[in-house]
Amino acid sequence: MKQFPQSDLLKSLPKQFFASLVKRANQYIEQGYDVINLGQGNPDQPTPEHIVKRLKLAAENPVNHKYSPFQGFQYLKEAAALFYNREYGVELDPEKEVAILFGGKAGLVEIPQCLLNPGDAAFVPDPGYPDYWSGIALARAEMITMPLREENNFLPNFADLSEEDIKKAKLMFLNYPNNPTGATATKEFFEQTVKFAEENDICVVHDFAYGAIGFDGHKPLSFLQFKGAKDVGIEIYTLSKTYNMAGWRVGFAVGNESVISAINLLQDHLYVSLFGAIQEAAAAALIESQECVDKLISMYESRRNVLISGLRSIGWNVTAPKGSFFAWLKVPKRFTSEQFSDYLLNKAHIVVAPGIGFGRHGEGYVRAGLLTSEDRLKEAVERIEALKIF
């Protein structure tokens, strides 16, 4: 069969670091080993029943069997605006300041293509979500990393950025609660971010994927809560984590009108909007009872406490995440993050994600997800204890 060569653009895309990890884990599963997978970011709970019921009803409506409006139904945009007003006190114009997305990832990858030209640059957190890199590569733009260090609570220090890089950059990705570190942002940091973006004509894209998940009574802050934030950027929200709707592929971008317009323009050329029944179910999720969200946060916090207290009890000095459903764990000094990840898989049949896969400054850590039962987390601790590393 004739082989058609891939375009230079496809060849330029970053390699999917975690594909090999998944492959190795599956090899152990196929051999019959009981693998505890803490390396994934896929919610393990079902979508709440009332949302599923709304989908079923909406799927029977012939209106939803036709093409949806290119930029989504107005009722979903209004639901997103109502959600932001209720949860964060942020007022949004549903028509001009909300764009419906095919999941948060789609928006994050689209944004660089909307705003950057070849030779432009974007700031990305290091460690950070690897799909930021993909969008920048597709835009043929340059990536400049912002180190997230433990001594600065995993917040970037803008004073460390060079004048040359600041002049080149047109875009900045942020993500709090943070994947992979579990850190949260402060009021002072977001205020500083708005000021920095204003002074340097940079568009901020705040990835708020874990916006619902904060611990110890602290509700994560929305970037748009702060004065001037809408002038300098947008926030991307997904229903994947808040409502266990990862497979439904629905989210939205909110904020700066010109950026929302650019997203809509690009998507007009890519899609014909989401299946209407999914839009109806998403609107129900946003505006109906949030009791399911409260229960979810409580469950993750309980799992976090089981894992962190368990690891500390066996002598592993770890820090509890403040948000998200990930724990960011320092590896023992004699291992690299990949070596330790391989060691846990080979010796204890536990999957964790090596920190180096999230960027150079992720070295020295592994990411563990809170996406399995408390019993399995306890068992993971027992297996690690049996290795007598600590």
**pLDDT tens for residues 73-117?**
999 999 999 999 999 999 999 999 999 999 999 999 999 999 999
Amino acid at 160: D
- Enter the DSSP assignment of 21: H
pLDDT at 257: 98
Q: Tell me: pLDDT of 20 over 80.
A: no
**pLDDT tens for residues 296-354?**
999 999 999 999 999 999 999 999 999 999 999 999 999 999 999 999 999 999 999 99
Separation of CA 332 from chain center: 27
When mean pLDDT is compared across 9-18, 242-251, 253-262, the lowest value belongs to 9-18
- Per-residue pLDDT band at 60 (split at 50, 70, 90): very high
State the Rg of the chain over Cα: 21
Does the predicted TM-score (pTM) go above 0.85? yes
Q: Tell me: pLDDT of 209 over 80.
A: yes
Amino acid at 153: N
CA distance 235 to 90: 12
**pLDDT tens for residues 364-373?**
999 999 999 9
CATH classification of 49-287, choosing from 2.60.40.10, 3.30.1320.10, 3.40.640.10, 3.40.50.620?
Answer: 3.40.640.10
Cβ(220)–Cβ(249) below 8 Å: no
CA distance 38 to 42: 10
What is the domain partition of the chain in residue ranges? 8-46+292-386, 49-287
When mean pLDDT is compared across 6-20, 194-208, 238-252, the lowest value belongs to 6-20
Cβ(256)–Cβ(206) below 8 Å: no
Instruction: Assign a CATH topology to domain 8-46+292-386.
Output: Aspartate Aminotransferase, domain 1 (3.90.1150)
As a whole number, the mean pLDDT across the chain is: 96
CA distance 25 to 37: 8
